Amino acid sequence: MSSTARTTPVDSAPGEPLTIAQIAKRVGVSVATVSKVVNGRADVAPLTRSRIESVIQEHGYRRQKKSTSPAPLIDLLFHAVEGGYAIEIFQGVQRVAAEQGLAVVVSELRGRPPAGREWVDEVLVRRPTGVIAVFSGATGAQVDQLRVRGIPFVLLDPTGEPDHSWPSVGAGNWSGGLTATRHLLDLGHRRVAVITGPEDVLCARARLDGFRAAMDMAGAPVEPELVRVGDFRHEAGLRHGRELLRLPEPPTAVFAGNDGQALGVYRAAAEAGLRVPEDLSVVGFDDLYPSQWANPPLTTVRQPLATMAATAATMVLDLAEGRTPAQTRVELATELVLRGSTAPPRA
């Protein structure tokens, strides 16, 4: 009987994840090669890497007790690091991380060729305590690479409908869209326009659905010409605002899918010689810092970005400690913040 067979088993018990040695035996490569793949090293042939990752995804991977401990940091992954949105998210994660003695590493997906692969490699090399992906559209294959290596992963404000097995944190976007639109309807507006975010983004669709629901409940028609698709940028609000205000029968109010687009509508109104709110009411979404300093201060729907981020950070640390979250999907409430950008329509 071989002593090697006794000390380095080839097969694990049914349902148990495999060790590096067991994976190497199954694939027919060295332990060192498997170790390189597990640790995110690039110097492995693509075909060999694919075979190793297939075995890991099928059976799982069991770290040895002597393996290196996770690095004391949280990886915070954005599609794009822009403006007040990213700042509030970072501050929320940083607060929780600092309490636990952890650092925060910020990464950006935008502009990485091939899309997404590089950030996964970097994360595997860093071996963080956990990963929070913000509005990123991370793929199932990428998440699987983290999962099979025991790196906790939480989605924050996901772009698409998340897999139910992925923990995620978001806001009440549908109810926020409903509340914003109801406010305009309660003021007496009936010709209300909406400038949404991208059609393939979950929160943008939910806000638009909330808008439509409020209009339907009030018996107010939703004219196709008053529904515009933006991209959550100031320029989109300006462009669509100009087009809306040039219509033969322009809207008396606009619900913008975020504050940036709302402030773009402000500029379009000023160019047209209109005053907010005397001639045009505007409501935004997010309640980022610029909204309260606008002229007039912007009425908007507040989503608690810093609290959402702190919740995601707490979830990822719980997962790192082996604790299962009570809920895989957490949705925090939004609220309407009344300021100076809305008023009844002119008689």
Q: Domain residue spans in the chain?
A: 3-59, 71-171+306-333, 173-302
Query: Hey, what amino acid is at 300?
Result: T
pLDDT digits (tens, 9 = 90+) for 165-183: 789 999 999 999 999 999 9
pLDDT at 36: 75
CATH topology of domain 3-59: 434 Repressor (Amino-terminal Domain) (1.10.260)
Q: Which distant-in-sequence residues (6+ apart) come within 8 Å of 167 by Cβ?
A: 153, 154, 155, 315, 316, 319, 325, 328, 329
> Mean pLDDT, the chain, as a whole number?
87
CATH fold match for the domains 71-171+306-333 and 173-302: yes
How far from the centroid of its chain's Cα atoms is residue 183's Cα? 27
Closest to 237 (Cα-Cα) out of 255, 211, 260, 253 = 260
The correct answer on CATH 3.40.640.10 for the domain covering 71-171+306-333 is no
pLDDT digits (tens, 9 = 90+) for 1-46: 333 333 334 444 545 778 878 888 888 988 778 877 876 666 788 8
Query: Could you give the CA distance from residue 109 to residue 87 in angstroms, rounded to a whole number?
Result: 17
pLDDT digits (tens, 9 = 90+) for 287-344: 998 999 999 999 999 999 999 999 999 999 999 988 888 888 999 999 999 999 999 9
- Cα–Cα separations (whole angstroms), residue 10 to 34, 50, 338, 344: 14, 20, 66, 75
Q: Rounded to two decimals, what is the model's pTM?
A: 0.78
Q: Find the mean pLDDT for residues 101-109.
A: 89
pLDDT at 57: 80
Read off the pLDDT band of 59 (50, 70, 90): confident
Q: Which two tokens stand for residue 246?
A: 């040039």
Q: Find the mean pLDDT for residues 63-89.
A: 79
Classify the C-alpha dihedral 25-27-31-37 as positive or negative. Answer: negative
89 neighbors 171 (Cβ within 8 angstroms): no
Which CATH number does 173-302 carry? 3.40.50.2300
Q: What angle do CA 93, 97, 101 make, to 5 degrees?
A: 165
pLDDT digits (tens, 9 = 90+) for 246-285: 999 999 999 999 999 999 999 999 999 999 999 999 999 9
Put residue 45 in one of left, alpha, beta given phi > 0 → left and psi -120 to 50 → alpha.
beta
